[in-house]
Structure 1
Amino acid sequence: MAKYIIKRLIYMIVSLILIVTATFFLMQAAPGGPFTKEKDVPPEIEAALNAHYGLDQPLYKQYFDYLYDVARWDFGPSFKYKAMTVNEIINNGFPISLFLGIESILLAIAFGVVLGVIAALYHNKWQDYSAMIVAVLGISVPSFILATVLQYVFAIKLDLFPVARWESFMHTILPAIALASSPMAFIARLTRSSMLEVLANDYIKTARAKGLAQWTITIKHTIRNAMLPVVSYMGPLTAGILTGSFVIEKIFGIPGLGDEFVTSITNRDYTVIMGVTVFYSILLLISVLLVDILYGFIDPRIKLSGAKKGE
């Protein structure tokens, strides 16, 4: 396991360097510059700004300087907010995005697993059909469409929740539901298919022959083995929640990191775009590694097979 983790860490470092490289040169290839939108900027002032931020240096020097800064966890100054650095923007916005993301992930897992288990236990019955209708709707309806529907119905018409902003826990419920809908539906389908496969195994039939109650069999013998596909989906789930939060935060006026990212694109704030991209890439790489490690704890056979291969 230790050798596997070290190998994966090396892959993560290589992947991160490739991501930083691709992001840097894509930003350089974008038309215009960070000060293109500034009105009536004399050429000498624009040249002074480029010199101040090091944008007049050769491209290779800018690239290696940026690699060095990223290695020191320094994403540089913001071009839009003159008195702030990208690190400060991340520190201010990420806790909000993290709270919203964790709430959405918990909702997606909890309701997705429950729907999937109910659908599998009542296979080809009305409970199964109802759960799968919910799952199909969750996958089919985009999160930004669902967000506007939730705002119109539950905030404007019924006045049960705030329309937007981020001031209390009540402000988090609608955006969390909108963000969790699609992954919840996918988890429900995964859980259902995995549960049906596990329920057909001989040891489940033996447990039933011994007279064990259905819920005892489900909780003690079925769910744990059926959760492996759900755990493998945690990596893509994290990616979907993080990237999906960009639009949701903008719709609900949430001052999170996703909102800052969208704003930085419209403002041509290149350092913020690159910094947030690299930051989210690190989070995704770490989440995928943690999911792979969690596999070994859920199913010891995976850990043993990995150890034998390592030997």
Structure 2
Amino acid sequence: MPFKMQKLHMPWTPQGLLFLALLGSILCPPASGIMDPSPEEKRLAWKYPDCSHLTAERGYALVDWPEVRRELHLNPYPENMPAVFGILDKLRGGSAEYDEEARLCIMGIPAVFFFLTKWTVDTMDRDEHGRPDEEAVKKVTVQYSIFENYISALHPGLINAANWTFDDLQIGRLRRQILQCYRQLEAKTANGSKFPPLKVYVYDEVDVPELEPLLRSQIYCSRGQWGTDVQVHDFFATSSIRTDDPAEADFFFVPGYAICVLEGNLYTLDEVDDLYKNLVQALPYFNASGGRDHVFVFGSGMAQS
């Protein structure tokens, strides 16, 4: 029997509205086309994080990646941007060139697009209310998508060990900056529109430091079967139903990527269990309702156990 929308009698209660909001986010298909390095490329990345193994292949590469990495260390951001723009000019914006350079030096292209994306976020035009320009947000989204395409398959331990002057925590901060831009645009376009009265407060690691271990490796955890945890977090972080005032919140969203940090060998099962126990005790608004208005997401029954 075909499904008929009129058969779904969802009351306009906070619980009903939360269900519809989550349904909309889950039905959005994930991005595809992520470049997954071969086992040999990953082995070389762990063995030669500075890409020093390229000495014999340098004639086939357009970029001297060991020298680029040295320059990044000598000239921290934003002083490194002339070098970044020079590399992009040399590669001529071609995906084939990006792919070949990423094959030769697995962290080179991600480093270039990390700093390009960061530069665009930091320098984008904003209106008198501090809201970003819509075209600038579209531009930074494309840049970040390219960055994500080349780095999301890499374990955070590899990213940190490679030390191309950025790490997993900095990636997370950049990602949150971009999500904040989307939230500001959402608020701008939703201004004056009617929406059922539902407000969700989203905890973050600034207010609750105990969250930080459970929010590691957002870009790594956003792909594959674990991605739901991150996608639902992204939805609430950017949605117009989010509130920064806990006093007006109908629900409190507690983000966490339990199954990803577990399967990614960042923590053991016992450690994840302890992290959540400590987290619940640290949540400032949990006891007011005994946790009945707090929403946790577990993308796996193993994580929930």
TM-score (norm 2): 0.31
Which of 1 and 2 has greater Rg? 1
Tell me: higher relative CO, structure 1 or 2? Use CA pairs within 8 A at least 6 residues apart.
Answer: 1
Higher helix share: 1
TM-score normalised by L of structure 1: 0.30
